[in-house]
Amino acid sequence: MRQSSTELAEKVTWYCAVFLGTILVLNFCESTTNTTSGERVEEINVISSMKRACDEIYVVREGDTLQSISEKCNDPYIVEFNPHIHDPDDVFPGLLIKITPMFTNM
What is the total residue count of the chain? Answer: 106
pLDDT at 99: 92
pLDDT at 106: 45
Is residue 40 a contact partner of residue 66, using CB atoms and an 8 Å limit? no
DSSP 3-state of 44: helix
Is residue 97 a contact partner of residue 88, using CB atoms and an 8 Å limit? no
Grouped pLDDT means (10 residues each) for the chain, 106 residues:
80 86 81 58 56 80 92 90 89 92 62
